[in-house]
Amino acid sequence: MLKRTIRVVAAAAVTATAVFMGAGSASARDNPTGTVCYQAHLKRVGWQDWRCDGEWAGSTGQAISIDSIRFHIPASTIEFCARAHRSNYGWDAYYSCTSPSNRTIQVGDVNTDAPIEAVRVYLDHTTGMVDGAAHVSNIGWIDGGYGGGFGIIELGTTGRGLPMEALWLK
């Protein structure tokens, strides 16, 4: 009976870990290989694996906020920029942008208690359009809103004190 109880508890722990870390919702990878890739840093959890092209990064149903996001755009001909709106801080003063020599950028800060509430992404509109959504605390999934052009999208909310918990882009 004790062995059976231990096996059941072990199986439940493995299942809970897989659900908590988002396994099954997106394929994990150590190296980004898609067109638009992103990696979420979760409060008290750390960096997740890279997700790309519509896979969601972060967590849902766990009340764990995103502190920082890395974006990786492999194609050196695509200009991609992002900035974050953080709790008790507001919008970053400037966009972080990729360049031909630096294809990875980061927004947010893993060392402060200022979770990301929204992120604004710019993709050179001559290259294509960007689409996405964010999972926001106490609300759920919200489609991205377009802000003034084909290549700009804003994910999340501002002015409501609700941290972003997950996102996807493509």
| Structure confidence at residue 29 (pLDDT) | 57
Instruction: Compute the distance between CA of residue 8 and CA of residue 166 in angstroms, rounded to an integer.
Output: 30
Cβ-Cβ contacts under 8 Å for 7 (sequence gap 6 or more): none
Instruction: Compute the distance between CA of residue 95 and CA of residue 19 in angstroms, rounded to an integer.
Output: 33
Are 50 and 30 contacting, i.e. CB atoms less than 8 angstroms apart? yes
Round the average pLDDT of the chain to a whole number and report it.
83
pTM: 0.81
| Structure confidence at residue 89 (pLDDT) | 94
Closest by CA position to 118, among listed 96, 89, 98: 89
Counting the structural domains of the chain, the total is: 1
Are 152 and 41 contacting, i.e. CB atoms less than 8 angstroms apart? no
Tell me whether residue 20 is in a domain: no
Tell me whether residue 2 is in a domain: no
Tell me whether residue 5 is in a domain: no
Tell me whether residue 165 is in a domain: yes
Q: How far apart are the first and last CA of the chain?
A: 50
According to DSSP, residue 94 is labeled S
Q: Look at residue 147 and tell me whether its pLDDT is greater than 90.
A: no
| Structure confidence at residue 116 (pLDDT) | 98
SS3 label, residue 8: helix
Tell me whether residue 84 is in a domain: yes
Tell me whether residue 151 is in a domain: yes
Tell me whether residue 19 is in a domain: no
SS3 label, residue 35: coil
Which range of residues forms the domain containing residue 112?
Answer: 26-169
| Structure confidence at residue 3 (pLDDT) | 42
The more confidently predicted of residues 21 and 158 is 158
Q: What percentage of the chain exceeds 70 in pLDDT?
A: 78
pLDDT tens-digit readout, 4-34: 433 333 333 333 333 344 433 344 456 788 8
Tell me whether residue 76 is in a domain: yes
> Among all chains, which residue has been given the structure tokens 């996807």?
168
pLDDT tens-digit readout, 48-88: 999 999 999 999 999 999 999 999 999 888 889 999 999 99
